[in-house]
């Protein structure tokens, strides 16, 4: 089965590809000739996933799925949330985003957080949402060189390693994106 994943993000593509069964062919936006940066103008994670999936369906008439992810920190009232990728500004700078997050948490004892991923699947004129949540906490310093985004400061519940210290295989066992993708694959296999 051929599936379009509505992303230009090479890191997300690598993470999702590593979990796909061999009978699925995964194509990115680049693979279908979509060079646009699809606007993420919704004020919810669900809304942004839907916007991206609908864009591909409307402009290319292809079945596809899209995801959006946010890091929600309890003591910051859910920030950065839907603004996670641009928390420190419009340039999508992981290093600056982490620095801002750690600075905003420096005096906070409650460091509980969760990653939330929503996958919107447009298939055969139907849309279905799949949600994955990974609870954990924000560390006081960066740990690990793997992953992307906030991975080096997110310690998932049940692990002594941050996502930044995990291999792709280890991370997919815990991660929000892994949980949502497993739900999607279960649906497609049924």
Chain centroid to CA 77? 20
163-169 average pLDDT score: 94
Is residue 111 within 8 Å of residue 78, measured between CB atoms? no
Mark whether 157 is an active-site residue: no
Higher pLDDT, residue 2 or 61: 61
98-117 average pLDDT score: 97
Q: What is the structure's pLDDT at 71?
A: 98
Please tell me which residue in 67, 68, 145, 160 is annotated as part of the active site: 68
Q: Is the pLDDT of residue 91 over 90?
A: no
Collapsing DSSP states into helix, strand and coil, what is residue 172?
Answer: helix
Domain 2-189 class in CATH = alpha beta
Q: What is the mean pLDDT of the chain?
A: 94
Q: Which residues are CB-neighbours of 102 under 8 A, at least 6 positions away?
A: 138, 140, 141, 153
Longest distance between any two alpha carbons in the chain, whole Å = 50
Q: Which residues pair with 5 in a beta bridge?
A: 28, 65
Q: What is the pTM of this model?
A: 0.92
């Amino acid at each position: 089965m051929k599936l379009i994943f509505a992303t230009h993000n090479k890191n997300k593509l690598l993470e999702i590809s590593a979990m796909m069964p061999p009978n699925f062919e995964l194509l990115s936006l680049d693979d279908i000739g979509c060079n646009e940066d699809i606007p993420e103008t919704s004020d919810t994670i669900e809304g942004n996933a839907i916007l991206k999936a609908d864009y591909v369906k409307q402009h290319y008439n292809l079945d596809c799925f899209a995801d959006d992810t946010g890091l929600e920190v309890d003591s910051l009232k859910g920030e950065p949330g839907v603004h996670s990728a641009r928390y420190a500004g419009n340039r999508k700078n992981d290093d600056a985003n982490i620095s801002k997050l750690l600075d905003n948490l420096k005096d906070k004892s409650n460091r509980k957080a969760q990653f939330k991923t929503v996958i919107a699947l447009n298939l055969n004129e139907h849309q279905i949402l799949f949600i994955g949540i990974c609870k954990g906490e924000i560390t006081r310093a960066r740990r690990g060189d793997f992953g992307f985004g906030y991975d080096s400061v997110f310690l998932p519940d049940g692990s002594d390693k941050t996502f930044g210290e995990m291999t792709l295989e280890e991370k997919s066992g815990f991660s929000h994106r892994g949980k949502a993708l497993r739900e999607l694959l279960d649906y497609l296999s049924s």
